[in-house]
A and B are shown apart, each in its own frame.
Chain A
């Protein structure tokens, strides 16, 4: 196995046991980036020099026998909406194109403290608004498993990076599926933790009540390892829960699913989704049963019917408010005007992309007197109804299996224009976000054309560790995703689980 193919855990073990150095591991990953990223276009900013310096510092500590942390020498990438001190953070927007934060996001600090090595910042849809990573100042990222297709989004750069072996780990943010869907599209594992599990401090907001820092990796075990570094109380974020987290890495030693009650979502017409992905759902259900779980069909009538509408109202309204601070005064782009309003309008109109401007105007509308009473107000109550529905179902089940996406990765440039079909793309991810539940997009191997298959595992809020345990059992049956060689023949998964 090449160094770039190792998991994060294997990398850290190798570095600590001096089988290879952190610098070796880092250079192996930087080589992958060097080799493929001109085509994949997953990175906005590469921090190779800093990475080498950090890797050498880790090696130095190891040679001195000092404590290094669970991710010692593990290369990782972060979506370009995580603030990084001294490293520009663009959010893929012209408005922050040249902005260099003076502080690190808490998640970045936790990774660094764990010994991980930041290689750079990954591409995303501008302000995380999108699901294809096409809507970016640096242009679209391509799917390493099929370069004609999108990697999903908005954390498409992070998902593509992990799939292409740029790093065993990447951080993304998931608002309504922005990590789970690209993980599914790129054939890697991606987890959105429970809301309140990981600090949002230093994440450039899209929607305050939905955004969650979410890791991507090629193994469930790596997700558990990185969650152990990420999930902790933070005095910089009062929405981050202060409770004591369980040990995530203990949970994944679960041997089988005996005694687990798994619900398999059947509340849709199979015509609404890709047949192969439906097959993955059935297969996951069979694997659960084979592992000793009780499997029963289940439905989420409120979540599925009202989820997307509730999500749009919530997220757009919040986006209009959170993106109002970009006024050209304190940071970011600035275009002068003859009056205060003219300066605002000039700066914002020229520096936000079209989709972002559209969403801000929509969100402004949804919060305006009259519209609020008919949209935002009811959505707040529908959201609570959805939470109640989830709570009720979790009395019967330990976890649900849902699709992550109803479709396989689609072709680049195929902008969905029919809004109803566009909304359907998020139908299985947004209810989970609205409910604050943990959700894992689990790779189910590749189809005959080499396109990734996936399912989504969903647990009760704050039962992230238990959910990782179930995912680990399934992953052992399916096999962990292999690294893709973008644009080269022979890209494949590890075989065992190909549907």
Chain B
């Protein structure tokens, strides 16, 4: 009998602020010379005091509102004391007893079913610096020293702590992707797992036969969406094996080893109780009064589910909505195409099928896409009006996406600029096709084209030669006339 799986997640998001949580150093640390984004505060120089970043409070509150949390009028910070080379003060300033936001929930959908994941709270804390362990001449032994870069030390994080409401690795992965989507919609965080701006720790246990909770194991070091699922699946099977053989699960922290595909026990020394938490008295409490919360609410951008509702009103399918709203920038692009006059359903199809195809081919995202929404709207309208065939429209989109060329020039270059092929010019093409295919013409004239395949073949050649700019009906009639049928 399968043991019910209980998963709770702690997701750390690096906040999109310009400066660190407690000092005016830049947060733009990626690619920077080590130890240049530092100052006396983040290097824990004696006598310095933390100064809370206003934007960090605003962003954490915004995320809290997005997650339907209660934003607290009064919250405080604490110190989590432990020595480590990447932690200059030897304590991390974090919120633990009175966090900035509590409660809330996030809806996820797995296998067509909607599930509500409740949240425990959301809090602010500072990031640690980075350690570098150089190797000597590529040998395995490495150098006799480690290096510390404090550029990341003090960068603001918000930690979203869920209740243990997830019951499969797929749900956990979906929860993280909804959370990331929300963070991106709200401009709270870029949510990149690869660069570490989104980090996930999981608490997982298998329930006992009587339904009571099993022993909790914490999994860290999952650095991609794929690894969240893999690590949790591995851990479930590991715990099942231990329990099946009559063993006991040890409460511990385990690190996911992505290369080996296993979780490994961290030596059991760093349990929460060893950290020594207590209140941070170097900082005034965070007071967010109701009018400020109201102000945060007023400035909330549209949330993903609000956008989905609005898109549903355009008559889009569930799948289209899901694809178009996944990324706020893509959704915005689509909306701009619609506002520029393209019919919503057609525009949805173009963005979903053609724009995403081109982006994929070019390996870029929508923010780097050359085709302005207005141009795409024009193109869609031309195709709708049959001024351009579907095929030619797609070709023009390809050109526009790759070259610095206006829509008008691209259309002109495609040969469709003179307008549609009709009358004499169409007749000319038909005559050319007829004279180039005497065998086929003869077969038709002999009445051997019973199924109409041959005439269709000729029609196809005409259309191809016309680059799609002929009306198929006129072409068919003209061809029949030319063959004296």
Contacts and interface: CB of A to CB of B under 8 A. Distances in A.
Contact of A327 (B79, B83, B284): B83
A268 interface: no
Interface string B129-143: 000000000000000
Contact of B282 (A235, A239, A380): A239
Given A330-B45, A368-B276, A324 B282 contact: no
A324 B91 contact: yes
Interface in B84-129: 84-85, 88-91
Contact of B83 (A101, A105, A344): A344
Interface string B421-438: 000000000000000000
Contacts of B278: 317, 321, 367, 372, 376
Contacts of A203: 47
Given A83-B47, A331-B45, A380 B284 contact: no
B88 A364 contact: no
Given A238-B284, A317-B278, A330-B88, A367 B81 contact: yes
B282 A208 contact: yes
Interface string A340-374: 11001000000000000000000010011100100
A380 B279 contact: yes
A318 interface: yes
A65 to B, nearest CB: 36
B46 A236 contact: no
B46 A96 contact: yes
A204 interface: yes
A174 to B, nearest CB: 16
A44 to B, nearest CB: 15
B48 interface: yes
A212 to B, nearest CB: 13
A201 interface: yes
Contacts of B281: 208-209, 239, 318
Chain B CB within 10 Å, residue with most, of A102, A203, A238, A320: A238
Nearest to A318: B281
Nearest to A103: B40
Given A321-B91, A324-B90, A105 B274 contact: no
Contacts of A238: 49-52, 282-284
B90 A325 contact: yes
A364 B52 CA distance: 26
Given A318-B281, A364-B276, A372-B278, A101 B47 contact: yes
Contacts of B274: 368-369
Contacts of A325: 44, 46, 88-90
B245 interface: no
A84 to B, nearest CB: 10
B148 interface: yes
Nearest to A239: B284
A318 B282 CA distance: 10
Nearest to A371: B276
B279 A200 contact: no
Interface string B251-274: 000000000000000000000011
Contacts of B280: 208
Interface in B269-314: 273-274, 276-284
Nearest to B274: A369
Nearest to B283: A238
B444 interface: no
Contacts of B5: none
B44 A201 contact: no
A359 to B, nearest CB: 15
A175 B279 CA distance: 18
B182 to A, nearest CB: 30
Contacts of B79: 321
Interface SS majority for chain A:
loop
Contacts of B43: 330
A481 B24 CA distance: 46
Contacts of A83: 46-47
Chain B contact patch, size range: 20 to 34
A56 B79 CA distance: 46
Given A324-B90, A329-B85, A235 B46 contact: no
B81 A202 contact: no
B143 to A, nearest CB: 14
Contacts of B84: 340
A237 B50 CA distance: 8
A223 interface: no
A202 B276 contact: no
A85 B83 CA distance: 28
A169 interface: no
Given A239-B49, A324-B90, A325-B89, A330 B284 contact: no
Interface in A372-431: 372, 376, 380
A436 B277 CA distance: 23
A321 B40 contact: no
A372 B272 CA distance: 13
A122 B282 CA distance: 25
Contacts of A204: 46-47
A367 to B, nearest CB: 4
Given A239-B284, A330-B88, A344-B83, A205 B47 contact: yes
A90 to B, nearest CB: 11
B88 A200 contact: no
B231 to A, nearest CB: 28
B431 to A, nearest CB: 85
A155 B282 CA distance: 22
A50 B404 CA distance: 66
A494 B106 CA distance: 75
B49 A102 contact: no
Interface in A65-96: 83, 89, 91, 96
B34 to A, nearest CB: 14
Contacts of A327: 83, 85, 90
Contacts of A91: 46
A233 B240 CA distance: 60
A321 B79 CA distance: 8
A331 B91 contact: no
Contacts of A324: 81, 83, 89-91
Given A238-B284, A324-B90, A201 B81 contact: no
Given A103-B40, A324-B90, A205 B51 contact: no
Interface string B37-59: 00010011111111110000000
A321 B280 CA distance: 10
Contacts of A205: 46-47, 282
Chain A CB within 10 Å, residue with most, of B46, B274, B276, B277: B46
Chain B CB within 10 Å, residue with most, of A102, A321, A341, A367: A321
A372 B97 CA distance: 14
A393 B233 CA distance: 63
Nearest to A102: B40
A205 B48 CA distance: 9
19 contacts: A103-B47, A105-B47, A201-B49, A204-B47, A235-B51, A238-B52, A321-B91, A324-B83, A325-B44, A325-B46, A329-B148, A330-B88, A340-B84, A340-B85, A368-B273, A368-B274, A369-B274, A372-B277, A380-B279
Q: 3 tightest A-B contacts by CB? A: A324-B90, A369-B273, A209-B281
Given A105-B47, A321-B278, A367-B277, 7 more contacts: A201-B47, A202-B48, A203-B47, A208-B282, A321-B81, A325-B89, A327-B85
Interface of A: 83, 89, 91, 96, 99, 101-103, 105, 200-205, 208-209, 235-239, 317-318, 320-321, 324-325, 327, 329-331, 340-341, 344, 364, 367-369, 372, 376, 380
